[in-house]
Amino acid sequence: MGIRKKGRAQFDFNGRPFVWWIEGDVHLRIASDDKRFIVGYLLIGDSSLLVVHGPEFPGIQNPERPLRIWVPPLSPTPVIGQHVNHILTMCFDGEAKPFVGESPEYSAGL
């Protein structure tokens, strides 16, 4: 069964169906329709961490989840669709790097 779509923005990225939604007014969630690719990003503060929840993430073979990944800061745009496209482009182009060390407290809700 695919991911729930009610109340979520549906779109295609590189010919693959995805959804995104805002959870609790602070977390951006992005998931593939088949639930294999699922990530979360904190929209407030200076967060540069992407948290991987799903089993699929290009270029990373670590099975441990959740897995925290450094990503370049997002541009200061109020358009969430641009953030979603930027995050997916980073993920599938290999720009995201594994995070090593203690997880910052602000990432706990991701």
pLDDT at 109: 52
pTM of the model: 0.82
What is the identity of the amino acid at 36?
A: R
Q: How confident is the model at residue 106 (pLDDT cuts 50, 70, 90)?
A: very low
**Each residue's pLDDT tens digit, 38-95:** 999 988 776 678 889 999 988 877 778 888 887 777 777 778 888 899 889 888 886 6
pLDDT at 110 over 70: no
Given a cut of 60, whether residue 9 has pLDDT beyond it is yes
